[in-house]
Amino acid sequence: MDIKEKFTKVIKANEGLIYKITTLYTDGTQDRKDLYQEIVYQLWKSFDTYKEQSKLSTWMYRVALNTAIFHLKQTKKRVDTIPFELEMERMTEEGDNAGEERIKILYEHIQHLNLLEKGIILLYLEGKSHEEIAEIVGISTSNVGTKISRIKEKLKSQIKNNDNYGT
């Protein structure tokens, strides 16, 4: 299998991860597409230097999340994007409405977290172990546990307040 084929396989297997990160770290479809392409590009750039010292998913999360951070800095300049569909609405067509509504509410509340908390909760929701989160984020495993508890409390109170205002 040549390197391009291998890379395509890896990206295809993880497109959900890229989609979620782009949705969390951008606020418009055009910007989302630009970040999507930038993540694929950055992953490609470092793919041949990726050494299998860490898990493939750890490397992918790290590059994708860090690319999202550096993308924040750039001013919104119009660039060409490859025509591809990347709409939240399209994802919802076949989903169940209640579950989708929950995800949307969760996305909204995660937007209020700071960048560190945002990254940690994303990894937590992705089902990553505390050890893997620690490796990707660069903090100690015990600190991951503390931070996750705090974020959970923060999100719970945000969602609770929202429910109170909504009713």
Q: Which of 6, 54, 55, 74 binds another protein (CB under 8 A)?
A: 74
Q: Residue 55: CB partners within 8 Å, gap ≥ 6? A: 132
- Is residue 34 near another protein by the rule CB under 8 A? yes
- Is residue 159 near another protein by the rule CB under 8 A? yes
H runs (alpha helix) in the chain: 3-13, 15-25, 29-47, 56-73, 88-92, 97-110, 115-125, 130-137, 141-166
DSSP label at residue 128: -
Q: Which of 26, 32, 37, 132 binds another protein (CB under 8 A)?
A: 37
- Is residue 95 near another protein by the rule CB under 8 A? yes
**SS3 at position 132:** helix
Q: Residue 119: CB partners within 8 Å, gap ≥ 6? A: 65, 136, 137
- Is residue 141 near another protein by the rule CB under 8 A? no
Judged by the rule CB under 8 A, the positions of this chain that interact with another protein are 4-5, 7-8, 11-12, 15-17, 19-20, 34, 36-38, 40-42, 44-46, 49-50, 59, 62-63, 65-67, 69-70, 72-74, 77, 79-82, 84-86, 90-91, 94-95, 99-100, 102-103, 105-106, 114-116, 119, 125-127, 135-139, 152, 155-156, 159, 163
